[in-house]
Amino acid sequence: MKKISFSVFLLSLTSATLANTPIPDFSPVSLGQHVVINIPQQRLFLYTDGKLTKVYPVTVGKASTQTNLGEHTIGPKAFNPTWHIPKSIQKERKDGLKTIPPGPNNPLGPVFVRMGDPKLGLGIHGTNAPSSVPGVRSHGCVRMKSPDALEFAKTINSGSPASVIYHMATLNMDSNDNLWLAAYRDPYNQKNLDTEALRKSIDAWAKAHGKNINPKRVNAILKNRTGHINCLTCAKGVKIKGPLKSIAWTSGSELPTQPKVAPPPMPTQDEILPAGTEIEVEAEAPQVIPDADQQTVSPTNIKPIPQTPSNQQYKLLQEPTNTLF
C-alpha cells in the first residue's frame, strides 16, 4: 500500500512540475520525438508527436564554452561510459589521469547521449555532482541529474531532431485564460530579446481575450529577468491552472504555438555503444562528494523504451573508440 501511495505521489509531482514549467515559443515536429533545449531557461523539453511529454532541468555551456545553438540530431548512447579526458582538461587537472572509468567519480554519470556531429564534442549526460544542475557552467555539453539522464536515454530514439534555442522570454496561457510571462538572463550576451514582438503579442492577446494588462508589470518583468513566471492578468498569489500553452509571441501573434507539420519519421535503429565505451568530451569534474542519485547501470538492465515500437529496431554498435570525440 505504501508503495502505491508513493508512486501516485511521484506521478502527481511530475505532472505538477510539467504543468508549471514555462514553455518556449518553438514549433516541434508534429510526428516523432523532438528535443528542445532553451539555453537561458536551462531546461530540456521532450516532445512526442508535437506534444510536450517531459521537462528536465539541465546545465549548459558557460559563456566561454557555449553549447552550440542550432539544429542537431540525437546520436549513439553509451551506458556506463569511460571518460577519456581531453588534453586541455588534463592540463587543468594536473593529476596525471587520462581516463576515468564508470562509477561514482565519472563526470559523465551513468550514460552519455551524443548530440550532433561528433566533431562538435556535444552530448547529453549525467553527472557526479547533481547539485550543479541546473546552471550555466559546463564545457559545452548538456548536463542532467543522473536519474533524469537515464530516463531520457531510455526514452529518446537515436536519429531524433534536437534543437538548441536561445529564447530569453516565454509567454504562456493557462486553462483559466490567464496570461503568464517569464524573462531570463542573457548568459551568452546574445541581446536577442525582441521586446517589440513580445509587447505586440501581449497586446493582441489581451484584446482578443478582453483582458487588461498593466504595461508597468510587463516592464518590471523584462527588467528584472528573474526567470520566475508571473501572471499578467490575475492577482498576486493566483496559481497556474492546468497545463500551460505557449503563445507564438516571436511572430507577434496572440495565437498558441503550433507543431511543425512534418512527414512521418523514417524507421531508425537505436544506436547503443558497448558499456564502458570511451567518450572524449570536455566534461567538468567537480571536486565534490558524489550525491546519492549517482549510480552505475548494469548492462543487463538497460532496456531502451521506444516511443514508436513499430518503427524501431535496435542494434549494438561495435565502433572503435577512436571514432568518438
Give catalytic residues, as residue numbers.
Answer: 125, 141
Q: How far is CA 210 from the centre of its chain?
A: 35
Are 45 and 148 within 8 A, CB to CB?
Answer: no
- Count of Cβ atoms closer than 10 Å to residue 270 Cβ: 21
Cell triple for 312: 524501431
Pairing of strands 230-231, 179-183: antiparallel
User: What is the crossing angle of helices 215-224 and 195-209, to 10°?
Assistant: 140
Pairing of strands 135-138, 59-61: parallel
